[in-house]
Structure 1
Amino acid sequence: MINHDNLEEYRDPINYDLEFGGETNKYNFYLDMARLNPGEVLELACGTGLTTIHLSKSGIHITGVDISSSMLEYARVKAQGLPVDFIEADARTFDSEKRFSMIYLTGNAFQAFLSDDDQRALLETVYKHLESNGIFVFETRNPLGTDLSNQEESIWGNFIDKDGIKVKISGTQSYDSSNQIMHWVTIRDWGSEKTISRIACRFTDNDTLQRLLTSRGFCIENQYSDWDKTPFTPLSPSIITVCRKHGA
């Protein structure tokens, strides 16, 4: 089941890009992965196409899939004239005749799949749409390298919005340890108004993650802690996983 609260974060695509864009090291990591595995690429949960468009501008033929129509609408505006297709679909049920040399998720999107069934459905989509020996790449926050304590409202940062206004960002977090789900509430303060959005993310430890991937037909080739390909360690804040499809 989709947690519809998660979609609140994606109501304002232009300001979303201004708040979360500019992660050049990440974009180049996925570009390098695509170049090492020539062919067509699929990004699931692509949002406004921040990474998708970066790859497309470098000549990669890529398809972006997302469940949010507003995010995709803005992605299409930005991608005019580029070799990229955007499709509105749920990554758990997406179905295409195409097969891809590489499939990836970024922005910790793997954590939006909140149940065992959701994770399995996502991986079935990936396995089905990968070419034989294709690669699957994604990152997720590492629970052992993350502060999972419950926290009252605190300052998180700021960004400059599309009208040049400095927006202050604060929020709270509450962790449901029985389901490994963090609930974040984000408060954005424009001075004249405030918005509140909620998002839920599941934290899967690396041992569980490795068992899950192996059980769904993937062989893990590398795990990194950052976009510079520093090897993963148990307390790294991120788990960046590169795995390959086994079988036909």
Structure 2
Amino acid sequence: MTDRLYSDPDLVQFYDMENAGGDDFNYCLGFAGNARSVLDLGCGTGQLAASLSDGRSVTGVDPASPMLDVGRGRPGGDKVDWVEGDARTVRLGRRFDLVLLTGHAFQVFLTANDQASVLRTIAIHLAPGGRFIFDTRNPAVEEWREWTPQRSARKVAHPSLGTVKAWNDVEHDVATGVVTYSTFYEIPGGGSALGAESKIAFPAKEDLAGMLDDAGLLVEQWLGSWQGEPYVANSPEIIPIGRLR
């Protein structure tokens, strides 16, 4: 859990420029509803946690301290309880009305054992009557095919560095299903490119369903996108919503 993309401040500075807002953020703001307490596992730079903190007790957990530092400095960040911890093992000694794990953070857990541990963490921290929601990319769509240097090339507007060229590269391990992708940022003015290598898993829906059941979690609804569409075989996302069984 020491991925440089999230633990190196030079790379963390680009995170919100590429990931701020989005459909998952908007959906979860509405989904939180009347929940009075929220646990945001894998909270990253804390945009969602801070946005949910008005009138709620919110805890944001992430293993990368530079990401949490960004969260603390956000508007509303002073209302969040920030915890440096691993979603597989963190134990907070309390339960929450809502447990979130968004931004495809579930995919950084590469093995079935690690994935099952995260689901147990959700169950342990979920209050009776509370709800959980998380997302993972649908392996059937093979989104990683778009992460080649040619297809992923983009420009990022940095407030002090100016226009930064960015791109990815990718390898897919057919045997394990694990995707290794690299992220690069070319600093203007002849500076060398910043880069980091990351690994993510693409668990299938049927495997997730079994692990959720084993963790004591009941799925009430499967979404296939953050627009709220029901899951079908070619949906881009796998998004279970549920409660304790």
Same fold (TM over 0.5): yes
Query: Which residue in 2 is equivalent to 1:27?
Result: 25
Are positions 1:71 and 2:70 aligned together? Answer: no
Query: Which residue in 1 is equivalent to 2:202?
Result: 203
| Structure 1 residues 78 and 66: CA distance shift in structure 2, 3 A | same
Distance, in Å, in 2 between the alignment partners of 1:186 and 1:133 is 40
Contact kept, 8 Å, 2:53 with 2:76, in 1: the verdict is: no
Are positions 1:90 and 2:86 aligned together? Answer: yes
Offset, 1:164: 4.9
Offset, 1:41: 0.5
Choose which of 47, 54, 68 in structure 2 pairs with 1:50. Answer: 47
Share of identical aligned residues, percent?
30
Paired letter, 1:228: Q
Pairwise CA RMSD: 1.9
| Structure 1 residues 22 and 33: CA distance shift in structure 2, 3 A | closer
Distance, in Å, in 1 between the alignment partners of 2:7 and 2:16 is 10
| Structure 1 residues 152 and 18: CA distance shift in structure 2, 3 A | closer
The number of residue pairs the alignment matches comes to: 240
Choose which of 107, 110, 121 in structure 1 pairs with 2:106. Answer: 110
Instruction: Show CA shifts across 1:2-40 (max 9, x none).
Output: 4x3x233442333211221132x322211222115x220
| Structure 1 residues 147 and 107: CA distance shift in structure 2, 3 A | closer
Paired letter, 1:203: F
Paired letter, 1:30: C
| Structure 1 residues 150 and 158: CA distance shift in structure 2, 3 A | closer
Distance, in Å, in 1 between the alignment partners of 2:76 and 2:25 is 19
Gaps of 5+ in 1: none
Contact kept, 8 Å, 2:130 with 2:243, in 1: the verdict is: yes
Structure 2 SS opposite 1:98:
coil
Gaps of 5+ in 2: none
Give TM-score, length-normalised by structure 2.
Answer: 0.90
Distance, in Å, in 2 between the alignment partners of 1:40 and 1:86 is 14
Offset, 1:176: 1.1
Distance, in Å, in 2 between the alignment partners of 1:81 and 1:213 is 31
Are positions 1:244 and 2:243 aligned together? Answer: yes
Offset, 1:134: 1.9
Are positions 1:60 and 2:24 aligned together? Answer: no
Contact kept, 8 Å, 1:15 with 1:162, in 2: the verdict is: no
Query: Which residue in 2 is equivalent to 1:133?
Result: 129
Distance, in Å, in 2 between the alignment partners of 1:99 and 1:105 is 15
Structure 1 SS opposite 2:130:
strand
Contact kept, 8 Å, 1:62 with 1:83, in 2: the verdict is: yes
Distance, in Å, in 2 between the alignment partners of 1:72 and 1:181 is 27
Distance, in Å, in 2 between the alignment partners of 1:225 and 1:80 is 31
Query: Which residue in 2 is equivalent to 1:176?
Result: 173
Distance, in Å, in 2 between the alignment partners of 1:19 and 1:216 is 33
